[in-house]
């Protein structure tokens, strides 16, 4: 049979910005998990989900807490997620940053924080005309979502390590310029990814108090539960009509698999986000599991697992600098990962050496971390997710051996 001819041409039919899109990549695009690897690349919670499943390692589920019921999956899920939203409000109503109280009207719940990132772009940015402002090094999905939506990108880098703070003079100047009219959103990650640094409340206040800029500040708090108590600014949205605070259950709660994210904001913005989202976007199982994690039994598991992560983070801070070839920690310690320099044989941060360490750890040792050396201000850096005690022990052993081998080869080549 002869091949049928069609006038279809993908290159001229598809949107140009999509054809040119470079998708978000992770280390597992290169290294698939075969079940034996130690995965210290994606900032997951290696201690497991925050569910009060009765076992020797978890506290028991409290008697008055409902069980997860997966019957009724033939029905569409609750489109409003009121109970889940109330539990999220209960978690963040600390009254540290405002005497006001969050309610479900202040919440958008979606499929991970990525849905909120995209929904905000679709809410506020006109394709082909408007822009967002990002502060690299930062989470890559802000840029990917901007390109998907044909939205421009303005970059104002964070101040140099180790602080990785917002460059307030540069941001203020940009928001005071004629170009500010097209900037509708500012995405700020705190604690930063890959920096691990908290953005100061006062720096955010300076941006929010800009006298002429008409836009929305989006604060991404994916890792906030690893930061000091009271760090979350979720309830601060009640004081600022143009502040959005995104959070997720993927990190401290160990529920990356259910893809559940939330955006706290003023009720008018929350209403816009909820109006445009797909119907029934959060599945019944995801909602039920999330509610379990936010009840007292689940919160107890989360806190217990967090203690283990913070203890291993402190261990890495103490022991990793003792490994020959490991340089300075860059950024902060407010997350479940650390950003650290890898040095060349001359003792300088080096991307070639860092990339070699990353590849050798994954390919030969089954330990997957994340190479971040191409990010702004992260020369020679690897990002290490904090794992369990056993995983951290193996990582320290393997990286020491890999660096020793690499240095040995370089010395031989030099001779």
* CATH number attached to the domain at 15-48+299-414: 3.90.1150.10
pTM of this structure: 0.91
pLDDT digits (tens, 9 = 90+) for 279-289: 899 999 999 99
Cβ atoms < 10 Å from Cβ of 60: 12
What are the extents of the domains in the chain?
Answer: 15-48+299-414, 82-298
Report the chain (415 residues): mean pLDDT per 10 consecutive residues: 72 83 66 75 92 58 60 86 97 98 98 95 95 97 95 97 96 96 97 97 97 97 97 98 97 96 96 92 93 96 97 98 97 97 96 97 94 97 97 97 87 62
* CATH number attached to the domain at 82-298: 3.40.640.10
pLDDT at 329: 97
């Amino acid at each position: 049979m002869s091949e049928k001819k069609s006038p279809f041409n993908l290159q001229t039919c598809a949107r140009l910005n999509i054809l040119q899109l470079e998708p978000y990549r992770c280390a597992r695009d290169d290294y698939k998990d075969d079940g034996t690897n130690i995965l210290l690349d994606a900032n997951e919670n290696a201690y497991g989900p925050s569910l009060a499943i009765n076992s020797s390692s978890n506290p028991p589920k409290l008697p008055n807490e409902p069980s997860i019921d997966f019957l009724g999956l033939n029905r569409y899920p609750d489109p409003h997620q009121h109970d889940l939203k109330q539990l999220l409000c209960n978690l963040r109503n600390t009254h540290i940053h405002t005497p006001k109280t969050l309610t479900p009207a202040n919440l958008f719940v979606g499929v991970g924080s990525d849905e909120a990132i995209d929904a905000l772009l679709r809410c506020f940015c006109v394709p082909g005309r408007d822009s967002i402002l990002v502060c690299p090094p930062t989470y890559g999905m802000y840029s990917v979502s901007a390109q998907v939506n044909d939205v421009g990108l303005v970059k104002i880098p964070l101040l140099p390590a180790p602080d990785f703070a917002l460059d307030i003079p540069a941001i203020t100047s940009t928001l005071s310029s004629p170009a500010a009219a097209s900037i509708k959103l500012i995405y700020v990650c705190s604690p930063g990814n890959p920096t691990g640094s908290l953005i100061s409340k006062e720096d955010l206040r300076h941006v929010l108090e800009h006298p002429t800029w008409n836009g929305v500040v989006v604060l991404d708090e994916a890792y906030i539960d690893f930061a000091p108590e009271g760090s979350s600014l979720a309830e601060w949205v009640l004081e600022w009509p143009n502040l959005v605070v995104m959070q997720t259950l993927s990190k401290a709660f160990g529920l990356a698999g259910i893809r559940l994210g939330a955006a706290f904001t003023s009720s008018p913005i929350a209403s816009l986000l909820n109006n445009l989202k797909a119907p029934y976007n959060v599945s019944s199982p995801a909602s039920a599991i999330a509610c379990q994690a936010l009840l007292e039994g689940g919160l107890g598991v989360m806190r217990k697992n967090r203690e283990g992560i913070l203890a291993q983070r402190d261990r890495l801070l103490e022991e990793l600098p003792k490994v020959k070839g490991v340089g300075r920690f860059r950024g902060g310690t407010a997350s479940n990962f650390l950003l650290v320099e890898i040095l060349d044989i001359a003792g300088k941060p080096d991307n070639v050496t860092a990339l070699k360490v990353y590849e050798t750890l994954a390919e030969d040792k089954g330990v997957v971390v994340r190479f971040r050396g191409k990010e702004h201000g992260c020369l020679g850096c690897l990002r290490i997710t904090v794992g369990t005690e056993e995983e951290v022990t193996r990582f320290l052993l393997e990286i020491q051996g890999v660096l020793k081998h690499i240095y040995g080869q370089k010395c031989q080549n030099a001779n």
